[in-house]
Amino acid sequence: MLQTTWIALVLGFWSSLYLLDVFLKSKKSVARPYLSFLDKTGLTISACQVRWYTCIFNRVFLRVGQWKPHFLRIWFTLGIIFSLLAMVASIFLLSLLVVNTLRQAPVEHQVLTPVMPGVNLPTNQISYYMLTLLVCGILHEVGHAVAAVREQVRINGFGLFLLLLYPGAFVDLSTEHLQAVSPLRQLRIYCAGVWHNLVIAVLAALVLLALPGMLVPFYSLGASVVVTDVVPNSAVSGARGLKIGETVTRINDCHIKSISDWSACLSTSMQEKWTGHCLPLDLIKELDASPFTNKSHSQWEVIDCCNSTSPTHLCFMYHTKKSAETKYACLPARPATDRPMCRLQSDCYVPKIDAACVYPAVDNETKLLRVFHGQRPPLLFLGHPLDLYYSVSLSNYVPKISIIPLNLPYVIETFCKYIISLSGALVILNVIPCYALDGQYIFHAFVELALRPAVPDPEIRSLIFSLVILFGTLLLLINVVLAMWTLLF
């Protein structure tokens, strides 16, 4: 249902925008001012696409491209070496994926899986995805532009576009100037985009690794975790539940210093059969609010001995030294759970005092957990530990003062992870020798540079180029089809 809704919204938006554009261009009273507006702003609207084109950045590209020309020459030459190696690696990787699929050898992750909102991209991650894709696209094209200035190729303009839900950028280079320079200089220009994608992916990885140290002046690490979000109407929401900004330090007697500790404590609680609390028998009789007169039962069964006495009471079961029968008592949950914890009757041994280890009278999947949070009394959670896990979002970064944003570390981490993923995918995609991708132009310049001395006939070189480009295009299409098939079926 969610997929259908997204498709309907996207198609509805683009259909409405396209029809509005056609209407304004055809209506005589507004056609001239509308076309003038499009011309001045550089906007172009077509089917499922909006483009913006400008020349205002040409001076910036010119200044950057003329900065330290010797360094830039070495920098973009390194881009050539990386791009050619990446082309070989990408062809091998995509070929291996096809072979494994045909041999029915399962592949855990497809490299070129299309990203579809509501299918394999959570709706709350769409903004991260679109912003990252736009940033990666802009820096990719900036690489082409700076390299073009360095190689004395004129830049006509720069632009942004939105195709369906996928933003991107493009740079308009002078075709005459580009064809006039040598194949080596062409390679520096064509490989600059892929090279910059690698660089920004590496920078994002370094930021991700250095993030804990960078945030030390503002956040505390290794002492507790902080609540960043609580699912509305969940078991831990409400006035007595967990609050955003509160720290969580323990679940029962399991200390929590990081999110991994939180997961480990919940996993341990699911594996434990019983966890009780030591109460003297006299105190059990004093606190017992059970409406039943007969509090002994011959079978180990789950009953409701409280009979809805009070929302603050819970049915507990226990054994005594004198009798092997299971007894039940309706006790106030908080005073009962404030007592020392126990797992066996022997854990409650106190000289000259008859005490029992009382357990919640619940099924094996339901657990009673005490969550220590903030400065308030522990939260009593009765249910499956996974419900608690999915009801709250936590962070390892605890702000040192209240004005520091809770979600800033999460935003930085998520943005860096998307940059690493998408920029790496753009490297693999763009270096493939395929029609309409950078790989087509990179391979053509490489053929002219490397094969011209050995193969002087331009027709033979053109044939070699066409065969490799056809192979790369088919290889990419097969991988996309396989990825789509895996995603949808």
- Cβ atoms within 10 A of the Cβ of 130, count? 16
Residue 382 is inside which H or E element, if any?
strand 379-383
Given 141, 176, 272, 325, the catalytic residue: 141
Q: Which amino acid is at 433?
A: P
Instruction: Find out whether 295 and 320 touch, Cβ atoms under 8 Å.
Output: no
Instruction: Find out whether 347 and 304 touch, Cβ atoms under 8 Å.
Output: no
DSSP for 310-349, written as a single string: -TTEEEEEE--SS--SEEEEEEEHHHHHTSPEESSGGGG-
CA of 3: how far to CAs of 8, 10, 116, 316, 416, in Å? Answer: 9, 11, 9, 47, 27
Q: How far apart are CA 476 and CA 466, in angstroms?
A: 15
Q: Which amino acid is at 89?
A: A
Q: What are phi and psi of 154, to 5 degrees?
A: -70, 140
Annotate 306-339 with b (16+ C-beta within 10 A) or e (fewer).
beebeeebbbbbbeeeeeeebbbbbbbbeebbeb
DSSP-derived pairing of the beta strands 254-255 and 247-251: antiparallel
Q: Known catalytic residue: 325?
A: no
Provide CB contacts within 8 A for 437, sequence distance 6+. 429, 430, 476
Helix (H, G, I), strand (E, B), or coil: what is residue 454? coil
Q: Write down the H helix ranges in 103-241.
A: 126-150, 175-180, 183-214
DSSP for 39-67, written as a single string: HHHTEEEETTEEEEEESTTHHHHHHHHTS
Instruction: Find out whether 69 and 179 touch, Cβ atoms under 8 Å.
Output: no
Q: Catalytic positions, please?
A: 141
